[in-house]
Amino acid sequence: MAEPRTPPASDTPPSVVPELPPAPPPASLPSPYAGDAAPERRGCSGCGWGVLGALGCLVVLIVPIVALLLAGTISINGIIGGIQNMFNAPVLVNIQLALDSIQGMSQLTTVRYNYSSLVTSERDMPDILKLLYGEKQVMVAVGHVNAGIDLSQIGPDDVTQDGDTITVRLPPPQLQDCFVNEQESYIASMETGVFSRSAPELVVEGRRFAVQQFRARALEEGILNDVQAQAHTVIQNFVKSLYPEATVSIVTTPPDPNAPLPATCQ
**What pTM does this model have?**
0.64
Query: Does the pLDDT of residue 2 top 50, yes or no?
Result: no
* pLDDT tens per residue, range 156-177: 999 999 999 999 999 999 999 9
| Statement to judge: residues 64 and 145 lie in one domain | no
Residue of 259, 264, 263, 265 whose CA lies nearest to 173: 259
- Looking at 60, 87, 114, which one is the last position of a domain? 87
Residues 53 and 141 in one domain: no
pLDDT of residue 146: 98
**Nearest to 235, CA basis, from 146, 155, 163, 168:** 168
Q: Which is nearest to 214 in space by CA: 261, 164, 161, 154?
A: 261
Expressed as residue numbers, the domain containing 56 is 49-87
pLDDT in tens, 91-118: 677 888 889 999 989 888 899 999 999 9
Q: Where are the beta strands (DSSP E) in 19-92?
A: none
Quick one: 68 and 148 in the same domain? Answer: no
Listed range (1-15, 38-52, 103-117, 247-261) with the worst mean pLDDT: 1-15
Residues 99 and 222 in one domain: yes
Q: What is the pLDDT of residue 197?
A: 74
Q: Is residue 230 part of a domain?
A: yes
Residue 10 has pLDDT above 50, yes or no: no
Q: Flag whether 7 is in a domain.
A: no
Whether 60 and 190 map to the same domain: the answer is no
Residue 49 burial by Cβ neighbours in a 10 Å radius (0-12, 13-18, 19+): exposed
pLDDT of residue 227: 97
Opening angle at CA 53, ends 50 and 56, nearest 5: 155
Residue 200 belongs to a domain: yes
Instruction: Supply the angle between the helices 223-242 and 200-220 in degrees, to the nearest 10.
Output: 60
Q: Are 232 and 256 found together in one domain?
A: yes
241 lies in the same domain as 153: yes
E strand segments, the chain: 111-122, 135-148, 159-162, 165-169, 174-180, 186-192, 247-251
Evaluate whether residue 32 is within a structural domain. Answer: no
**Are the C-beta atoms of residues 247 and 93 closer than 8 Å to each other?**
no
Same domain for 219 and 102: yes
Residue 21 CA to residue 16 CA, distance in Å, equals 16
**Same-domain status, 76 and 115:** no
Residues 71 and 125 in one domain: no
Residue 266 and residue 256: Cα distance in Å, rounded?
A: 17
Say if residue 40's pLDDT is above 80: no
If asked whether residues 76 and 106 sit together in one domain, one would say: no
Radius of gyration of the chain (CA): 54
Domain end (from 26, 58, 87): 87
Same domain? 76 vs 99: no
Per the structure, how many domains does the chain have?
2
pLDDT value, residue 251: 97
The overall longest dimension of the chain from CA atoms, in Å, is 192
